[in-house]
């Protein structure tokens, strides 16, 4: 690989894109440990309202965040396309419910704009807006999403 190609790779980010309702969101693929099918989620008493519960993932109990509640979005019925994206950030493993995982996509940093006000979702959770063709992807800041001290608005 020549230096020109290496420079191009450094100017890109690879994202996992998914849907919540009618909107498309994305997260940095480097934080994604795996994507699993919907499974039984055990409720936890006195957990924050946006924590749906916990799952047993091959012997490890991990919390699962209800993305609709976390982002103050209307609840939808769980379908066969629903998934749990499992993230690993530093020492924390956590799941996030999504309605549909759509694709893995590469964006250049030039295609990502600083976040403006995004209707329905707390702006603190948005890292940027990705533009690809006629689509907009709301790129989430996982550190903020997983910070339980930040309340949904």
> Rounded to an integer, what distance in angstroms lies between the CA atom of residue 147 and that of residue 132?
29
Residues 30, 138: Cα–Cα separation, whole Å: 17
Q: What is the pTM of this model?
A: 0.86
DSSP letter for 6, please.
Answer: H
The count of residues in the chain is 153
- Residue pLDDT tens, the chain, 153 long: 444 444 456 789 999 999 999 999 999 999 999 999 999 999 999 999 999 999 999 999 999 999 999 988 888 888 999 999 999 988 889 999 999 999 999 999 999 988 776 556 677 889 999 998 889 999 999 988 888 777 654
**Confidence at residue 83, expressed as pLDDT on a 0 to 100 scale:** 98
Enter the CATH code of domain 13-146: 2.40.50.180
| Structure token pair of residue 94 | 């956590």
Judged by DSSP in three states, 55 sits in: strand
């Amino acid at each position: 690989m020549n230096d020109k190609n290496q420079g191009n790779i450094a100017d890109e980010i690879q994202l996992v894109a998914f849907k919540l309702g009618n909107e498309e969101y994305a997260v940095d693929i480097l934080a994604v440990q795996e994507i699993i099918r919907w499974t039984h989620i055990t409720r936890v008493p006195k957990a924050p309202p946006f924590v749906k519960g916990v799952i047993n993932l091959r012997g490890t109990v991990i919390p699962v965040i209800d993305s609709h509640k976390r982002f103050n979005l209307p609840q939808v019925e769980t379908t066969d396309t629903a998934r749990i994206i499992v993230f690993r950030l530093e020492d924390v493993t956590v799941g996030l419910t999504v309605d549909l995982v759509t694709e893995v996509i590469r964006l250049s940093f030039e295609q990502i704009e600083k976040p403006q006000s995004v209707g329905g979702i707390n702006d603190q959770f948005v890292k940027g807006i990705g533009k690809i063709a006629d689509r907009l992807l709301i790129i989430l800041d996982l550190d903020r999403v997983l910070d339980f001290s930040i309340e949904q608005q």
